[in-house]
Structure 1
Amino acid sequence: MRTKAFVSAVAITAALLGGSQASVAGAATPTLPPPTGPHHVGRFDVHLVDASRRDPFDPTVPVRELMVSVWYPASGGTQKPLAPQQLPGAAQAFGELAGKVNYGVPPGTVDWAATMSHAHWRAPVEHGRWPVVLYSPGLGDPRDWNTSLVEDLASRGYVVVTIDPTYESSGVEFPGGRVVRSVVFDAEPTQQLLHTILDTRVADTRFVLDRLHGLPFADSDRIAVVGQSGGGFTALQAMHDDRRIKAAVDMDGQLAISLGDNGTDLSTVAIDGVDRPFLLFGTEAGGHAKRPSWASLWQHSTGWHRDLLLTGTTEGAFTDAAPLLHQGPADATAAKRAYVASFLDRFLRGHDDHLLDAPSPSYPHVEFEG
């Protein structure tokens, strides 16, 4: 469903087995880097049902079901068990689908279910009302495939809600162990399918916004959406469509509803632009000067905007592929965390560390494109 710069399976296997713990049947267990913020992190999962929509991927399902995870600043709670990066059923589906197809990892090489996050299940929430970040993953990826960013933001004082796109994500595990696997990996990648995927993602995001009232510790007046690849499209399109969203981050997601960013089939956000802040964070494929859909957004937007380039990277460097599969430069995860947090702090908290003002020697692989 999307182009990846595949890394050699042999190289990945060697890197994993050389730098990770051994796990089931000799498979490797890669480890996530610890969060950098001052807070402990808690997590719980929520099963949501939108009875106003039929599922567009399965006409026999009369409702749209979603699984979301809520990551938040925790007040202690370290005696609670650690949450895995992925639940067992979702991890198995990831290894057989997204891990193999999107990231070139042979099934069985990695015990994905054994990789742990640094969040504690249902740890008590730290007192306060915290700004909210919704996270949307790349096409075919599960909601947990940017835990390195998500739990870091929670440790810095954000409530982060990660949304799994059911029937598109490699596998979504619901309560009781029921797993809904992707139907798009084997589908013909047509423009109509892309429309369905992206329209559904935006609708899912807005539905989750409707349900934020159930989180009394979440400040619904301070909301941003962050996404990678197709999730980056989702972030900006959702902000275009919904005034509740105050800021958005697009990590390497084109804004054309087509199989390539060639200036055709532009989304409404690319055509209209937006009047609120956004951050574009691209790979070596280039920024708005090289991507027609980003150029259109740039031209038509009136809010604050910045375009960054993470050199030496492919699309996967903005995901957990960077720390777990060693994709991209060694500082890719640190740079992603720092610049996304700087943007969110600036526009949801009013705290400006000036990292977004000019290139920094601390992050030599980050270039300013505009």
Structure 2
Amino acid sequence: MRRLRATVGAAALLLALPLSVAAAVPAMAAPSPAGSAAPALGAAAPDVAPAPALDAAATSDPAAVRIELPRPTGPYAVGREILHLVDQDRPDPWVPSAGPRQLMVSMYYPAHAGTGGPAPYMTAGAARAMLDFRLPGNTVPTEVLAGVRTWSATGARPQGGHYPLVVLSPGFVDARTAVTGLAEDLASRGYVVALVDHTYENTGTTFPDGRTLPCAMCGRPKDWSQVDESRAKDVSFVIDRLTSRPHPAWRHARMIDRDRIGMAGHSAGGAATVPALLADDRIRAGVNLDGTMDVLVPATGIGGKPFLMIGHSLGGGAEDESWETSWPRLDGWKRWLTVEGTDHHSFTDFPVLIDGLGLPPAPGTTIASGRAVDLTRRYVGAFFDLHLKGVEQPLLDGPNAADPEVVFHP
């Protein structure tokens, strides 16, 4: 249900669905039971309406569209650097002929204000690949997506001190940039963030040699639990390279507190938190943003590690079966929050991008994009502040009048 959650409203959103203006390729994979395959490319999802024609003013002139992510809320400026990591001990699980597994990772960190230069949202190649995949034949200029305004700076001078590390994993099909806003906000609050692109699982990953690799797994029959477990291996490898001594992969690795590491993800990235927590003792806490748990929490629990689940309402009292099964098995601090008025992508940058393009919100989605961003940042940030920094967070104790959209599961 929450792996690549589809709703009728999402079909109207340019970047939330792989639908052409003129012809339907699948909308974000329709809700499917754990372990089932996503619809093949070219097959229409069963509960998705056609996308409307785009307004010409929003697509013909890149100067007419300027999209800006919400400003981070923490006290620090944000730096960003890009890493290319190669796992020589592991062949690529999806394209073995490609050789060893290669990953692109965006590192966000607390930085000194006024240092460095503006960090682009994504490469032109990745932006073009996303637009071509989701809207074949579209007229949206690449610059509109590649040129989204961020709040991080390349080459920024890092702050002193040691900070917890949070590894972020995006949804299946989505490039890592889909959760840039959350990454920037966590860094501004005093975290180092490693935002991982899972190669061949998204619309396009650009490597240093200029190649943008496609989504080899899109439309291919797959065991979703294998996808989640592969992502968990990606995450552990990234942690290995960031914390190895004496030669870590990142020049500012000294900023990372190796004893305070967490993971969060959206959709498939959220689902991958369970196998990651089970397999890697270094990961102390996890957040699942609307991701079906294809790897269920085992009856023995996850070693008492704290776990936060945030999702959107299915309506009619329905719940994700994998969440219902896993919830009583979580054996440490836990919260299950439902945010009313949201849809699957409300916990990413997509609603902000859609607003910037002047497109209507998804039918049934009543929450404003800025409000969805605010709630996601505050609750995820509070979770990591509590469990990686030891700072008490009354926000997580139960419902409060200031956030009526947030429902705490009993």
Bin of the TM-score, shorter chain as denominator length = 0.7 to 0.9
Return the alpha-carbon distance in structure 2 between the equivalents of residues 345 and 16 of structure 1.
43
Runs of 4+ with >4 A deviation: 9-16, 22-27, 286-289
Matched, 1:222 2:283: no
Partner amino acid, structure 1, of 2:397: D
Q: Relative contact order (alpha carbons < 8 A, sep ≥ 6): 1 or 2 greater?
A: 2
Structure 2 counterpart of 1:8:
12
Q: Which residue type is aligned with residue 96 of structure 1?
A: D
Where does residue 273 of structure 1 map in the other structure?
301
- The answer as to whether partners of 2:62 and 2:141 remain within 8 angstroms in 1 is no
Is residue 349 from structure 1 mapped to residue 389 from structure 2 by the alignment? Answer: yes
SS of 1:117 mapped into structure 2: coil
From the superposition, tell whether residues 160 and 83 of structure 1 become closer, same or farther in structure 2 (CA, over 3 Å).
same
CA contact (8 A) 2:182 2:377 kept: yes
1:331-350 to 2 correspondences below 5 Å: 331-350=371-390
- The residue type paired with residue 301 of structure 2 is G
In the alignment, does 2:174 pair up with 1:174? no
Q: 1:55 to 1:23 in 2, by over 3 A?
A: same
- Secondary structure of the equivalent of 1:52? strand
Deviations 1:255-288 (A, max 9, x none): 12xxxxxxxxxx2535543211000001012799
Q: Report the count of equivalent residues.
A: 348
Tell me the residue number matched to 2:328: 299
1:62 alignment partner in structure 2 = 99
Spell out the pairing of 1:39-58 with structure 2 (5 A cutoff): 39-58=76-95
1:315 maps to 2:347:
no
**What percentage of residue pairs aligned between the two structures are identical?**
36
1: CA distance, partners of 2:128 / 2:209: 16
Q: Note if contact 2:229-2:276 (Cα within 8 Å) is conserved in structure 1.
A: no
CA distance in 2, matches of 1:289, 1:272: 26
Q: What amino acid does structure 2 have at the position aligned with 1:246? A: R
Per-residue displacement from partner, 1:49-88 (whole Å, max 9, x unpaired)?
0011111221212200000010000023x24211011122
Q: 1:205 aligns with which of 227, 230, 235?
A: 235
Unaligned stretches of 5+ in structure 2?
14-50, 356-360
RMSD of aligned Cα (Å): 2.5
Calculate the TM-score normalised by the size of structure 1.
Answer: 0.87
Q: Residues 1-370 of structure 1 correspond to what in structure 2 (within 5 A)?
A: 2-5=4-7, 6-8=10-12, 13=54, 17=58, 25=62, 28-76=65-113, 78-97=114-133, 99-100=134-135, 106=138, 108=140, 111-185=144-218, 187-188=219-220, 190-192=221-223, 194-213=224-243, 214=248, 215-256=253-294, 267-274=295-302, 275-285=304-314, 290-326=319-355, 327=361, 328=365, 329-330=367-368, 331-370=371-410
TM-score, normalised by the number of residues in structure 2: 0.79
The answer to which of 196-205 and 231-240 deviates more is 196-205
Residue matched to 1:263: none
Q: CA deviation at 1:8?
A: 1.9
Do the aligned partners of residues 24 and 179 (structure 1) sit closer, same or farther apart at CA in structure 2, a change above 3 Å counting?
Answer: farther
Alpha carbons of structure 1 residues 365 and 180: separation in structure 2 relative to 1, 3 Å? same
Which residue in 2 is equivalent to 1:259?
Answer: none
- Residues in 1 aligned to 2:266 and 2:378: alpha-carbon distance in whole angstroms: 16
Partner deviation per Cα, 1:295-315 (whole Å, 9 max, x = no partner): 222111210000001111110
Whether the aligned pair in 2 keeps the contact of 1:153 and 1:160 (CA below 8 Å) is: yes
Q: Secondary structure at the match of 1:148?
A: helix
Q: Does the residue aligned with 1:90 lie in a helix, a strand or coil?
A: helix
Partners in 1 of 2:173 and 2:179 — Cα distance?
A: 13
The residue aligned with 2:22 is: none
Q: CA deviation at 1:191?
A: 4.2
SS at match of 2:174: coil
